Structure 1
């Protein structure tokens, strides 16, 4: 008798069962399916493991995998590596990014690590870098970091006071690699249908370079009624899966398509060695924030953009 039932589907379980040779072994993961003859346990890498119910000697539900503390400094840099800019340069370990002005992330200083010079000098070099490219000097700063106060003391101010903070959320793949409600196609190159849903109108000229520039990327899509109605992008950096560019056609929202896209990318990532995942959401976007928190994502940190104040 398994000790489990269909009510346990979606929960983490441990199943002790007998192998063909007679020895006992345990399998741990999320219960994916259950019927009178067999059950399927899903590993963290999304691999399904089927067990005949008659071979089960004991089974029970166990607590979810605890969400380990995240190395915020590492994640701060990982987010940049997952979506590289068209052009990059360094001031010490700080990263300067430029992409013809498209998106704040791809056109801002990332103050991660040691600038290897006084902060005042590093910021002057950043200002020169952006002035040479006809861009405003921007810095993406983690609000909990001491660098914020240093920037402000040197005259840098909030670049977008009318906008809300951005949350960077994280969780483990165990919590988000469930079977999607919809069929999610995942490819290593986006096609015209993907770009047509990801953007309203013609994509910026630099968009393909930014979106496709990471070493290992995946482009997820859901097709309904003969057209692509939801898309997202995934990028692997070490064991981290970054999810971004999530967009659902307005006529198809509130149907769980965003959740399906995250699950589809998580299942792809598990096969690629992924173990943890992050994404970004504007703190005022309550529907998206609720969706991601219900999936198991938690806030790692929040950020804003600063710019050089007038002198």
Structure 2
């Protein structure tokens, strides 16, 4: 066989030149999925598998990892909102107001992106009234050091969670994550009771199903061991972006690679649907999650915090 590949290259990007049935040569580029004495299998970015017989291989070699393309931060900022929509939404110009009976900051906060269509003071007053009418604090999700964050702070909005570390939005390309999971991952279009029981430590908040299942194209992954669901996660497609959240592993089953398997399962679901890039969110001081995501090739796109309107006390 003519090859510079071996088992140690599994999981890395390779290029394989091989002969088609008609005799012509073609190249396949992707991640080496498996290799044995008879065949090798290359996984393309869209998760398609290409099994190739060694007798047809003309040349094969490992290639450097594909560098992450620069991310359009403003576009991704809006994409994250579409991936997990709130129960109730309203607009002030291009600003997005979200409310979901108080469950999660993201689903109950202003997203100040674009032109509010009126003076900043009037737009902020409109936002404060929107949340006051619903018995909710006026919160805004802002990218750190963005013009919008600076403008809101100049109008008296302050850090709503000074005790909390920054939230990082991280991104990567799908071909760095869509490896074969070590566990069987079930992906369904709707979550069942077992999924929710694992996703939440205690009763499921009343607004959660509407928020979790509200995206136009969402999927719910789970891993079962010992006859019960022990790891879950949620994915949603927005254009070519796969957003992943609600990744949780039963405490008794942590440090076994289950979170990685859930992410890989969702990524393999998204690839054939046109997914090319992935994002997720993590609090900076969540060391285990940060380690998992970094090992899968995720890199920081931006950070955000919540600001509270004037008169609102910081959350404790």
Structure 1, residues 159-190: CA drift from partner, whole Å, max 9, x if none? 01111110000000010000001110000000
Cross-structure match for 2:96: 95
Contact 2:10 2:31 (8 Å CA) reproduced:
yes
Structure 1, residues 73-118: CA drift from partner, whole Å, max 9, x if none? 0000000000000000001101000000000000000011111212
Taking the TM superposition and a 5 Å limit, the aligned residue runs for 1:180-191 are 180-191=181-192
After TM superposition, the score normalised by the length of structure 2 is 0.97
Structure 1 CA distance for aligned equivalents of residues 309 and 252 of structure 2: 41
Contact 2:113 2:148 (8 Å CA) reproduced:
no
SS of residue in 1 equivalent to 2:46? coil
Contact 1:144 1:301 (8 Å CA) reproduced:
no
After TM superposition, the score normalised by the length of structure 1 is 0.99
Shift of 1:41: 0.1
Cross-structure match for 1:274: 275
Cross-structure match for 2:242: 241
For structure 2, which runs of at least 5 residues remain unmatched after alignment? Answer: none
Structure 2 CA distance for aligned equivalents of residues 200 and 260 of structure 1: 21
Cross-structure match for 1:168: 169
SS of residue in 2 equivalent to 1:32? strand
Shift of 1:12: 0.3
Quick check: 59-68 or 130-139, which moved more? Answer: 59-68
Structure 1 CA distance for aligned equivalents of residues 170 and 282 of structure 2: 8
Shift of 1:64: 1.1
Contact 2:221 2:232 (8 Å CA) reproduced:
yes
Structure 2 CA distance for aligned equivalents of residues 274 and 50 of structure 1: 22
Structure 2 CA distance for aligned equivalents of residues 172 and 133 of structure 1: 39
Q: Detail structure 1 runs of 4+ shifted over 2 Å in the superposition.
A: none
Cross-structure match for 2:58: 57
Shift of 1:152: 0.8
Cross-structure match for 2:28: 27
Quick check: 64-73 or 196-205, which moved more? Answer: 196-205
Taking the TM superposition and a 5 Å limit, the aligned residue runs for 1:1-80 are 1-80=2-81
